[in-house]
Structures are given as structure tokens and as C-alpha cells.
Structure 1
């Protein structure tokens, strides 16, 4: 029985390593050729697996890019965003959440940019993953706006609906990258500016 459990653990570890190797191959392709869509064949070759293995692990090309998008968040420390959401003070939720989001974008900035750039050219796979991520972010900003409204923290001239739109704009990758890459600011300054801008725009 102990031998069987050991073999099962080895198989699970091997599967996890194969999965991560495939994801790392996608990152490699995105960094090496950020203006060219990534093919499953290229990924399989770089990961040293059969093309069929990629489909076996992820189900489809769209599933592969969904996994890449989620792995990007995990690698970037998205758990800090989750922790910010749990803060009892909605204003701190805003400050900490925007800081955590900027830090997440900064970890693999080039990969985030490549995925967003490809989304229009590859709507079914890359575009689908980006769109679903944006929908989740929009939902998160709507929830934050509702918390600010419930705690009477919104400016009198800003509705919860408008606050959600404003927060969605300020927390976008493009807003982050205009400061991080466009202005060459360190991530701490980017996070501070974005959080201050958001707070001044929607909070009393």
C-alpha cells in the first residue's frame, strides 16, 4: 500500500512538473516573440512534450491561455489582492488592492503586455482569457464601489455605478503601464499614484 501511494505521489509530481514546463514554454514564446501569436506546436517543442500532451493537460488552446492567465496572477502574488478584499475598511481595501494589483502586473509585465496585444488578433484563445480576466476585474471593482457606498465613503457627486467605472479604468493594466513603462516609475510610485488618484476621484 505504501509503495502504491509513493507511486501515485510521483505521478502527481511528474504531472505538475509537466504542466509548469508547458506554462513556462508559453512565457518563453511570449517574451521571445511578443508580436507573433503562440502556437501549440512551438509550446510543445519548447516544453519537450508531444502536442497531444498540451491538449491532454489543458483541454484546448483556450484552456492553455486561461491557465497562463491564472498562473500569471498566482506568480504575481494575487493573494495580496484577495487579502485586501477581506479588509473591514473599504478605503483600505481600495488602497491595498490597487497596490497589490500594480505589484502583480510588475512581476511579469512583458507577458501581460503580450497577452493583451494578442487578444484582438487571437479572440478565441488569448482574447478569451484576457476578456474573462477583465470581467472578473470589473466585478471586483463593482464590489469595491458597493462597499465604499455602504460605508458612506463615496463623494456625494459619485454614484456607486460611476465609482465602479472609475476604479475599473484606474486599475487597468494600461493605466499601470503608462506610469511603469511609459514614465519609467518604480512600482511603489506607480501604486501610490494610482491609489491616490482612485481615492481622490471617488472618496469623500
Structure 2
């Protein structure tokens, strides 16, 4: 992965390395230099090393911002690592270039938030949530990538909500076997649990994204 980042960075017009690498200081013996443990940013550091080995490390890329934490117990180091990796990436819909227009974003957001208020037990804060659950930002992003508004001539949040209701009802009308065939989950146990919860809450949009391509 570091080599891929390095090659992309070599072609990038952005100078420097966005973000920082995170280091936790290790125990220091008297008279010896303290060692650090790299917690986050190893791929950026590896990419810089790769570029250096190829003689392509420009002056702008020679410096990397380093965030240093004092020495801590192993448990605290694990908690820091977990906290860093819980940060959710920006979705495509919200990017300044290539993302949704302000009008499209407003429609998708209003509709997604309405669905979340209707089915609170089926929405999760994590973008990595499992079927049949949905994350509101992932739902917005998937609708944007599928060009739902453009393909179906939808111009308002109310129209989109009506369309989502219809897709949800159509998915609910399928048999368990038909739903399972759409790749809802890999294992039979996971499929059964996902289907049971979807049926119990009358919410099927999180079982797969097949309905977006109808």
C-alpha cells in the first residue's frame, strides 16, 4: 500500500503530506535516546521512504508532521489506536470536487434523515455497520453514486422519500430466498438474523444496495 501511495503522491499537485503520523514515546533508559512506537501513519511514512529510495523525495515531501504522545501503558496505547481508527472518512458526496451539488446534497440529506427518524433502530453511527443496518452518510453517498435523482427525475426530498418507500415495500415483498440471493450476508446465520430484524422493523434498504439499481 505504501508504494501505491508513493506513486499517487508523485503525480499529485498537492505539496506535502496531509495529516500527521502518530507516535507514542517508549521508555527511556538513562543516557539513551528514547524510542517511539508508530501508531498511525505508517503508510505515509513508508511512502516517503519509498520515494526517497527512488530519488523522488522532493523538498516539499521531506517533512512529515508528527504528533507525539508521552509514554503510556499498553492499554492506553490500544485505546488511542482504537480512537484514531474510529474516525470516519469523508464520503464522496461531500467532496468539494466530484461530490454532489448543494441542491442534490440537500435533497439526499433530507430524505436520508427522514428515513433515520422513521426507523431509528435500523440506523447506526458507524459507516461499517452490518446488514440490515444503515449509516445515514453511507445511504446519502450510495444514492448519490447511483445517480438516483437524475435517473428517476426526482426533484425534491418528498419525491425521494416516496421513491424510497416504494423500494422498501418492494424489497419487503420478496421472499426470504429472493432476498438472500441478493448477497445480504455471507453466512446463513448472519442472513437469518439480518432478515429477522428487517422483517421485525419493516425496513429492508440495509439488506443490500440492489434496490438502488432498479
Per the normalisation by structure 2, the TM-score is 0.27
Give 1 or 2 for the bigger CA radius of gyration: 2
Bigger proportion of residues as strand: 2
The structure with the largest helix share of the pair is 1
TM-score (norm 1): 0.28
